[in-house]
Amino acid sequence: MTASRPPVVPRSLFFRLSVRLALVGLVFLVVELLVVVRMYVNNPNELDHLLVTAEADRIAQEIPQMRGAAGNPVSEDLQYPLASGTRRAFLIHERGGAVVARFDDASLKIADEPPLSFLVIRTQRESWDSRFLLTGTRRVEVGRHPYWITVAIAGEGFRPFVPVIFNEIRFHVILPLILLSLMFLLFNFSVVRTTLKPLETTIAAIDRIDPAQVSTRIRAEPSLREVQALVTAVNAMLARIERSVCALRDFAGDAAHELRTPLAIMMLSIGKLPDSVEKAKLVADAQRMKRLVDQMLDMSHATALELAPDAQADLGAIAREVVAELTPLAVMRGRTIAFRDAGAARVHGHGDAIGRALRNLVENALAHTPAGTAVEVTTGPGGQCAVRDHGPGIPPERRGDVLERFRRLDKSASDGAGLGLAIVSTTMELHNGDVRIEDAPGGGALMRLIFPCG
């Protein structure tokens, strides 16, 4: 991956659906336009009617000004007909047959015949080849007074009707289609949202899976078959991961078990050798292997552990047992272990696992505290446990490292496999607790295990 290439941002499903829907709307619009145009071309009478009506409506708007003014005041706008390339005349009557206004084109004149008072609408066409003459009357109401507008339009061909068709398309095709598209988009938005909801819930459920808990499965019951298939697939994948993780873990545990008998044979055989420097080295090597096997099993236990919801552990009792177990080893090496219970609480936890973690922590402290000093184990107050040594301490920048597997600060040290603190860290993770590495006041490392409250 080069840094210059911009990252590809995947489009959202909502975006895709919207684009496609808009395209469909566009195609629909074109089809509808064609249909409308064709319909009008095939039906000229309808266009005649529309053109006369449009012209009459335009004239009607100016009636109030005409009434107030003297003579024949036709506005600038009305001088020209609506449809270009035509000639047009009009005549306005009011009730009783009086002429309100008239406008004659030079060659087109409407005879002054008052229309019948019950006439509301009339359109008439006369054609000569491609030329035509339209006459029509419309009854309009302006300020509660009825008027009869008679219009005559003379023209040629189809062109005069274009503005009318355009108007029709604007009001009866485009406007409704835009409204419809907006509604579609909103509908689309809500439908996509609600449809994808089970998917989002499932994704959230997958996100919540703790990688350390390989036995977890998604328990959501999606209402969609497609999402159900996804859940099934993810669960199947989790099962496969669990199988391989378990196989690996069991292998480490089994291997450690299997090593114990040959190791016992080795230790007893070494014990029969005559005393020598070589023998002392072999004994030390065998002891180190024994410790490694122990730690491998501890690690295997720590990773395999499942914490029961109601599991309770007594930190004070566990620490007391660990101290009792390790004191002979400490005394043999010229060190001591001091234990103090400062009011330890019962915590939600696995007693054996906490014991193994604490044993490794104390063993680690014993390896680092100088001869003649004590490792101090304190439980409490509350859900915590501290182990302090009088060694060189751990530099702050290495504190993260030492919790990893097979890490030792002093590579030349012959004791320890480097798994001890990783066991501690893994166990504390399982308990949602924390391992804190600090400097003890007066020197030495202070390791604190903090368990969550409650």
Nearest CB to another protein, comparing residues 154 and 344: 344
CA triple 199-204-209, angle to 5 deg = 125
Q: What are phi and psi of 113, to 5 degrees?
A: -115, 110
Nearest CB to another protein, comparing residues 199 and 292: 292
H/E stretch holding 338 reads: strand 336-341
Nearest CB to another protein, comparing residues 131 and 257: 257
Helices (H) and strands (E) in the chain, counts: 10, 12
Supply the minimum distance, in Å, between the C-beta of residue 286 and another protein: 7
Nearest CB to another protein, comparing residues 55 and 376: 376
Supply the minimum distance, in Å, between the C-beta of residue 289 and another protein: 8
Supply the minimum distance, in Å, between the C-beta of residue 198 and another protein: 43
Supply the minimum distance, in Å, between the C-beta of residue 255 and another protein: 12
Nearest CB to another protein, comparing residues 11 and 272: 272
Nearest CB to another protein, comparing residues 136 and 444: 444
Supply the minimum distance, in Å, between the C-beta of residue 370 and another protein: 9
Nearest CB to another protein, comparing residues 100 and 317: 317
Binding site for another protein (CB under 8 A): 257-258, 260-261, 263-269, 271-272, 284, 286, 290, 293-294, 297, 301, 320, 323-325, 327-328, 331-341, 352, 371, 374, 377, 412-415
Supply the minimum distance, in Å, between the C-beta of residue 279 and another protein: 12
Number of Cβ atoms within 10 Å of the Cβ of 137: 21
Q: What are phi and psi of 8, to 5 degrees?
A: -85, 120
Nearest CB to another protein, comparing residues 89 and 319: 319
Cα dist from 67 to 71, 73, 94, 100, 119, whole Å = 10, 9, 11, 7, 22
CB 117 within 8 A of CB 106: no
Supply the minimum distance, in Å, between the C-beta of residue 327 and another protein: 5
Supply the minimum distance, in Å, between the C-beta of residue 285 and another protein: 11
Structure tokens at 393: 């301490």
User: How far is residue 181's CA from residue 20's CA, in Å, rounded to a whole number?
Assistant: 12
Half-sphere exposure of 202 (CA within 13 A, CB side): 20
CA triple 142-143-145, angle to 5 deg = 70
Supply the minimum distance, in Å, between the C-beta of residue 443 and another protein: 19
User: How far is residue 178's CA from residue 174's CA, in Å, rounded to a whole number?
Assistant: 6
Nearest CB to another protein, comparing residues 271 and 396: 271
Nearest CB to another protein, comparing residues 150 and 360: 360
Which residue's structure tokens are 């890490």?
Answer: 407
Number of Cβ atoms within 10 Å of the Cβ of 181: 18
User: How far is residue 341's CA from residue 345's CA, in Å, rounded to a whole number?
Assistant: 10
User: How far is residue 340's CA from residue 356's CA, in Å, rounded to a whole number?
Assistant: 19
Supply the minimum distance, in Å, between the C-beta of residue 338 and another protein: 4
CB 446 within 8 A of CB 435: no
Cα dist from 125 to 49, 154, 208, whole Å = 9, 10, 78
User: How far is residue 435's CA from residue 433's CA, in Å, rounded to a whole number?
Assistant: 7
